[in-house]
Amino acid sequence: MNRYAHIALIGYMAFFMAVGAYFPLSSADGDILVTSPNGGETWTKDEAVTVTWESSLTTPVMIKLYKGGEEYYFLGVKTASDEILSYTVKDFWDDGADYQIRIWDDYGNSDISDGYFTITGGSGPLPVDITVTSPNGGETWTRGAEVTVEWTSTSTTMHTIVLSGTTGEYNLATASASATSATFTLTGSFPDGDDYRIKVKDADGYFDYSDDTFTVTGGNGGGTDGITITSPNGGETWTKGEDISITWESSLTTPVMIELYKGGVKKYFIGVVTASDGVIPYDVKDFWDDGADYRVKIWDDYGNSDMSDGTFTITGGGTLGGISSIWIIFIGVVILIAIAAVIFIATRKRK
């Protein structure tokens, strides 16, 4: 191969590499490796701990505690490349030597601790003593009914009553420093379930949970009713390069994933925020295809979700990184013609 052929080959390669650089990946490509706890560690209740992993992904990942090979408690959501989650070991978690951490994303990347680790002990008496006495395990609460929470406390600050479950924590009521009970009507956007506890906390961060779980029933509360998309919800038009906001209504405290669908197929991941934020600002990407068949889906890891009621439009011309795809092709063709011309002229001169 002579040097002119080399020039042509390099030109072709440079052109297609440049065009390819403008296209983003619509799914994850990589791995997740849990590094700690990975087997043999011991966590003590109320201790500040860190969960660590290795990953080059930029997708959101969910972190869950497993016990005996089964899901036990949701710890949080982070960006995979953060590689660390700080957490406080809950004092109501069962003692055991069969715990693992699992980390995964929505694209099939996941890992779980290679071996079991242990959770044990307790922190001893606190300067402030709060003890939940009711509900304390086995009760059933019905949504819309009047319920009562009772506790004892030596705190001198206001108390907050929180419903705590694997789907998140939901503030229910507040009470004065001297109060030892609170009665209220049970309402809120939390799903039915049998894994709830009451948490009573004071303004200084001292708290106690029900000793065991109880049931909440009487309505979905979550599911598709837990998240309601308000915009885009059908009929809107987004223009490429435009700053837009996706909005929804929700009182959930779970992390939610926001995704863009086209023609009923998931097209792009937009971001992850807390459900109760109700908004995520975004800029319409230049490389997104024109179309009138887009919808937004918002969902969490516990079955709560919603999708735009109708389709909306994205327009503004097919562009790549702000440069029209037609211009990219045109420039590439010009470059290739120029290279061919150089080769032709050089070959003529040699003759």
Here the CATH number for the domain that contains residue 252 is 2.60.40.1930
Cα–Cα separations (whole angstroms), residue 13 to 313, 320, 335, 336: 35, 18, 12, 11
- Say yes or no: 303 and 345 in one domain: no
27 found inside a domain: no
Final residue belonging to a domain, choices 88, 120, 152: 120
- Say yes or no: 336 and 272 in one domain: no
**What angle (nearest 5°) sits at the alpha carbon of residue 65, between those of residues 60 and 69?**
120
In this prediction, residue 50 has a pLDDT band, given cuts at 50, 70 and 90, of: very high
For 250, the token pair is: 């929700």
In this prediction, residue 20 has a pLDDT band, given cuts at 50, 70 and 90, of: very low
Among 33-47, 55-69, 278-292, the minimum mean pLDDT is found in 55-69
β partners of residue 314 = 238, 291
* In the chain, % of residues over pLDDT 90: 41
Which pLDDT belongs to residue 22? Answer: 43
Domain extent, residue 333, equals 3-22+325-350
Mean of pLDDT values over 152-161: 92
Q: Comparing 254 with 182, which gets the higher pLDDT?
A: 182
Instruction: Indicate the number of domains in the chain.
Output: 4
18 found inside a domain: yes
66 found inside a domain: yes
Which pLDDT belongs to residue 83? Answer: 94
- Say yes or no: 116 and 158 in one domain: no
Q: Is residue 4's pLDDT more than 60? A: no
- Say yes or no: 303 and 346 in one domain: no
- Say yes or no: 198 and 150 in one domain: yes
Mean of pLDDT values over 40-67: 91
- Say yes or no: 92 and 79 in one domain: yes
254 found inside a domain: yes
Among 1-10, 106-115, 123-132, the minimum mean pLDDT is found in 1-10
Tens digit of pLDDT for each residue in 219-253?
544 334 578 899 999 999 999 999 999 999 887 77
Across the chain, mean pLDDT equals 81
In this prediction, residue 97 has a pLDDT band, given cuts at 50, 70 and 90, of: very high
- Say yes or no: 227 and 315 in one domain: yes
- Say yes or no: 83 and 55 in one domain: yes
- Say yes or no: 139 and 174 in one domain: yes
Tens digit of pLDDT for each residue in 281-291?
999 998 899 99
Which pLDDT belongs to residue 219? Answer: 55
Final residue belonging to a domain, choices 68, 91, 120: 120
- Say yes or no: 115 and 42 in one domain: yes
Tens digit of pLDDT for each residue in 311-320?
999 998 544 4
Query: Hey, which of 11-20, 106-115, 161-170 has the most confident mean pLDDT?
Result: 106-115
- Say yes or no: 305 and 263 in one domain: yes
88 found inside a domain: yes
Task: Yes or no: say if 252 and 190 are a contact pair by the CB < 8 Å rule.
Answer: yes
125 found inside a domain: no
Which pLDDT belongs to residue 175? Answer: 93
Mean of pLDDT values over 65-71: 89
94 found inside a domain: yes
Final residue belonging to a domain, choices 196, 217, 238: 217
Here the CATH number for the domain that contains residue 178 is 2.60.40.10
- Say yes or no: 331 and 281 in one domain: no
Q: Is residue 299's pLDDT more than 90? A: no
